[in-house]
Amino acid sequence: MTAMRGQGEPAVPPGRGDCGQRLKHSDGPWLRAAGGAEGLAAHLGPVRHELAAAHEGLLAGAGRLTALAELAAVRESWERRIQAAQGECGSLAAKLRAVARTQGATNEAVRSSFTAMTPCGGDER
Amino acid sequence: MTPTLTWAQLRDLNCAELEGAADGWGKSSNRADAARDRIEQQLLTGLRDTQEGEAAQAAVARLRQLGRNFQYVYTECGLLRTTLNSLSHEMKTQQRVLREALDDAVALKFTVHADGSVTYPAAGEGLIDGAPLRGGTASSTGSPGLVPPSGLVAPNPHAAKAQDIADRVTGAARAAAEIDWRYAGILRRLKAEEGLKVPDSTWKDAAGDAAEVRDAAGAYLKDAIPRDASPAERRDWWAGLTQEQREEYLAVYPDQIGNLDGIPALVRDAANRDNLRLLIGELEGRDDEKSITQLAGLREIDRQLGAAVKPGEPPMFLLGVSDEGNGRAIVSYGNPDTAKNVSTYVPGLNTSLDEDFAKNDLKRALDTAKGSRYHDPSSAAVAWLGYDAPQAVDGFSSLSVAGDGRAVEGGKRLSEFTAGLSATNENEDPHLTAIGHSYGSRTVGAAATQQGGGIPGIDDIVLVGSPGVGVDHAEDLGVGKEHVFVGAAENDVVTVLPSKQQAAAGAVGSWFGPLLYVAGDVADQGDDDLWFGKDPASESFGAKRFRVDDGPGLVGDFGPSIAAHSQYFDPKRDAVSAHNISLISAGRSEKINTQEYR
């Protein structure tokens, strides 16, 4: 069990908040969260296979137990739940990317309107 | 219920396969736990701290929900693992019984039949003709063997042995069938709920699941949690467990591991975050006043745990939580296992697990932690509600109702807690401080005198707003009188409570009783006895009195008030007191501002 929680410094990218005219949104965290959500989906990918492998011998050998009939249904229910979570990770990742794109466009629009006054060098992505 | 399982099926059951399946669930549980951590530490942190606006809030809400979902998956898959391991353990026990019976049968040349009956050969001598007695078949279903024993016929000496074997074979098969049936029921209830959400009702069910698995797994997790051992022994016990064993204890007994002194802070914190969810789920459905009050307190703690740590502030560790008595909650600001300085604030009169505690008492520890870390960054501060403080339902007369009892009981718990801090602290020579406020100072006093050598591990004692500590001299507290520090605001009503003798005259009866005491004081000039003994702020007590603000008076800033009792830790309302407490907690007591004795 990973016991550390709520620790650690906020993962703010260095050197990205210093241009006075930018919006509070910066697409760094959005894209990073999107990448993180995709990573989570991948992290959950092996679950179904791992569970199947772990139960392989069981179905062949100890299959006489009533409890094992229940276990099969239990396994199906958790595979569904974890699959749903995986789907949510994918859907969240897509949404987070979309926000990043929108914010990027907004920032671009805002930036161009300010370009004349305050050039923000090094802010292009 | 007519479970059936033949002895041959029991014999052929491969329990290693059950354990293999258990491992699979353990992996799933760990994956879910890791997923929850990643959401908390990476995904949420970035958005929570740097984003504003509706889109960010919506994303944070969905991520939080996903995180709770993983917590649920982690908890339930962990229970599944233990259920299967426990099923295997119980089946193996019956297999052992069966195998011994079968071995005995082989040794005696008996035959065990598919239905569990046992045939034995001819043996012995007949009483009349001396010929061997006929063999027969014993069965534990109640039907007699071929030759029923009677007074006239000497029994075949094998008969009783065969009967015993038949009983053991059939008994093992029946017990195994019963175990199978019981675990089928447990497994049925461990099915996942559909979807992604984890409403409180689901947590309530999860609490029930944990209790059920715990009942069933009692025999399996037989290395019982060493509740009666010392905190140092418990630390060693935990250190000696395998990773898998730890995970199982955390899955099945999070409430016990989370609240066990001697277990490392990080482990307690992780267990208690699960406990918190389970407790909230449990209390959610209840409508009695105590549950509603505790639920509000738990929700507030949950909110603070979920919020981002502010820059410069120490992270929060939940070292204890339960609904025992008036409720328990132990929160540390800063990791008490790695910090060199750890202070433990013991709250007093009227404290219980409620929203007020979760907001105001925790803030006292947070303020102390922030202050101490200014002087020494390696500092943590704990708010310790590990006992039932007296409740002032009847004003100060509650003190007479509570008397010393709550302090004596609380003192034992406090000693155990600080012994746990000492046991798990990783510094060579940690500096520990006990801070008693109000009745909490009486609790600290009780802890200090219950065993030789004072409170385990405690180097410095701070007493604020004290109605007396139960001893008449600072040197009786076990740390040396130069390590006992007292803060007593001139207008703090509790620090001028009359002694019991004075109260016996009938002067005290309500929160405003002490006003009457002022009149009593006029008649008893120079008396330095408080409710629980000598006034710790008096010269004869012998502690160091540190400077505090006089505090607001009741009328026209004059006279004792309850407001002056409640600001010792507040860096805004009583900066000098908060500063002094922080210095002592950080091991810099030589720098405090002192105040003349009363």
Asked, for residue A125, whether it belongs to a domain, the answer is no
| Nearest CA-CA partner of B298 in B332, B331, B326, B329 | B329
For B478, the token pair is 């076990």
Residue from B440, B365, B380 nearest B410 by CA: B440
How far is A85 from B76, CA to CA, in rounded Å? 15
**Euclidean distance between CA atoms B35 and B40, whole angstroms:** 9
Angstrom distances, CA of residue B310 to CA of A9, A30, B49, B316: 10, 21, 9, 11
Nearest residue to B342 via CA among B361, B363, B314, B302: B314
Q: Which of B417, B405, B478 is nearest to B442 (CA)?
A: B405
Query: How high is the pLDDT of residue B397?
Result: 55
Q: Which residues numbered 308-327 in B keep a CB inside 8 Å of some CB on A? A: 308-309, 311, 315-316
Inter-chain CB proximity B46 and A43 less than 8 Å: no
Q: Is the pLDDT of residue B369 over 80?
A: yes
Can you read off the two tokens belonging to residue A46?
A: 């092996």
Structure-token match 């009363």, residue found: B598
pLDDT at residue B516 in the model: 39
* Domain range list for chain B: 1-222, 311-589
Say what the pTM is.
0.79
What's the rounded Cα separation, in Å, for the pair B255 and B275? 6
3-state secondary structure B145-205: CCCCCCCCCCCCHHHHHHHHHHHHHHHHHHHHHHHHHHHHHHHHHCCCCCCCCCCHHHHHH
Per-residue pLDDT at A15? 36
What are the tens digits of pLDDT across the range B159-186?
A: 999 999 999 999 999 999 999 999 999 9
Q: Structural domain tally of chain A?
A: 1
B558 has a pLDDT exceeding 70: no
Can you give the pLDDT at residue B215?
84
Q: Tell me which CATH code domain B311-589 carries.
A: 3.40.50
CA separation for the pair B76, B70 (Å, rounded): 10
- Give the DSSP H or E segment for B486: strand B484-487
Domain span at residue A46?
28-114
- pLDDT (0 to 100) of residue A65: 87
Q: Cα dist. B465→A59, B396, B482, B494, B505 in Å? A: 67, 14, 19, 6, 24
Structure confidence at residue B57 as a pLDDT band (50, 70, 90): confident
Size of interface A-B (CB pairs under 8 A): 201
Rounded CA-CA distance B437/B444 in Å is 9
Chain A stretch 16-75, residues whose beta carbon is closer than 8 A to a beta carbon of chain B? 24-26, 28-30, 32-33, 36-37, 39-40, 43-44, 46-47, 50-51, 53-55, 57-58, 61-62, 64-67, 69-71, 73-74
User: Which tens digits make up the pLDDT trace of B98-133?
Assistant: 999 999 999 999 999 999 999 999 888 777 777 888
Q: Which is higher by pLDDT, A60 or B455?
A: B455
From B70, B190, B273, residue closest to A74, measured CB to CB: B190
Which letter, b or e, does each residue of B61-98 get, where b requires 16 or more Cβ atoms within 10 Å of its Cβ? ebbeebbbbbbbbbbbbbbbbbbbbbbbbbbebbbebb
Beta strands in B316-408 (DSSP E): 316-322, 328-333, 341-346, 379-385, 393-396
> Per the CB < 8 Å rule, is B55 touching A99?
yes
Q: Is residue A82 part of a domain?
A: yes
Which amino acid, one-letter code, is at A113? S
> Where does the pLDDT of residue B151 fall: very low under 50, low under 70, confident under 90, or very high at 90 and above?
low
Which residues face B381 on adjacent strands? Answer: B333, B343
Nearest alpha-carbon partner for B481 in B426, B543, B540: B543
In a domain, A120, yes or no: no
- Subunit contact B39:A55, Cβ cutoff 8 A: no
| Residue A110 near chain B (CB below 8 Å) | no
Record the tokens describing residue B258, joined without a space: 């989370």
Whether A57 is in a domain gets the answer yes
Query: pLDDT (tens digit, 9 = 90+) per residue, B535-552?
Result: 899 999 999 999 999 988
Q: Give the gap in angstroms from C-alpha A99 to the nearest C-alpha of chain B.
A: 7
Chain A interface includes B363 (CB < 8 A): no
CA angle B584–B587–B589, rounded 5-degree value: 45
Distance to chain A for B410, nearest Cα, Å? 29
Which B-chain residues 260-289 have CB contacts (< 8 A) with chain A? 266-267, 269-270, 273
pLDDT, tens only, B180-204: 999 999 999 999 988 888 887 888 8
Point out which residues pair with B487 in neighbouring strands. B464
Segment among A53-62, A112-121, B46-55, B404-413 with least mean pLDDT? A112-121
Which residue ranges in chain A fall short of pLDDT 70?
1-27, 59-63, 103-125
Say yes or no for a CB contact (<8 Å) between A26 and B66.
Answer: no
> Is B30 within 8 Å of chain A by CB?
yes
Establish if A11 belongs to a structural domain: no
* Cα–Cα–Cα angle for B518, B521, B524, rounded to 5 degrees: 170
Which pLDDT does position B55 carry in this prediction? 74
Calpha distance B592→B131 (Å, rounded) = 103
d(CA B177, CA A88): 41
Cα–Cα dist B192/B367, whole Å = 43
**Is A77 at the interface with chain B, CB within 8 A?**
yes
Count CB neighbours of B479 within 10 A. Answer: 19
**Contact residues, chain B, for A55 at CB < 8 Å:** 20-21, 24
CA distance B377 to B370: 9
Looking at chain A, the number of H-run helices and the number of E-run strands are: 3, 0
The proportion of chain B whose per-residue pLDDT surpasses 90, expressed as a percent, equals 64
Contact check, Cβ <8 Å, A37/B20:
no
> Do A76 and B188 meet the contact criterion of CB atoms below 8 Å apart?
no
Residue A6 CA: distances (Å) to CA of A29, A117, B65, B217: 18, 41, 17, 32
Contact (CB, 8 A) for B594 and B390:
no
**How many angstroms away from the CA of A116 is the closest CA of chain B?**
27
Q: Does B576 touch chain A (CB under 8 A)?
A: no
Does the pLDDT value for residue B267 go beyond 90? Answer: yes
Contact A33 B181 (CB under 8 A): no
Q: Which stretch of DSSP H or E encloses residue B104?
A: helix B54-107
Helix (H) or strand (E) holding B585: helix B575-585
User: Is A12 within 8 Å of chain B by CB?
Assistant: yes
pLDDT higher than 60, residue B398: no
DSSP calls for B212-240: HHHHHHTTTT-S---TTS-HHHHHHHHHH
Which residues in chain A have their CB less than 8 angstroms from residue B25's CB? 51, 54
Greater confidence, B350 or A1?
B350
Q: Where are the beta strands (DSSP E) in B498-559?
A: 529-530, 533-534, 544-545
Residue B436 or B521, more confident: B436
User: DSSP state, B288?
Assistant: S
DSSP-derived 3-state class of residue B594 = strand
Using a CB-CB distance cutoff of 8 angstroms, which residues of chain A are in contact with residue B309?
Answer: 6-7
B21 touches chain A (CB under 8 A): yes
Could you tell me if residue A40 is inside a domain?
A: yes
Residue B351, CA atoms < 13 Å, CB-side half-sphere: 30
Chain B residues whose CB is inside 8 A of the A36 CB are 38-39, 42-43
Among B135-139, B297-301, B549-553, the range with the most confident prediction by mean pLDDT is: B297-301
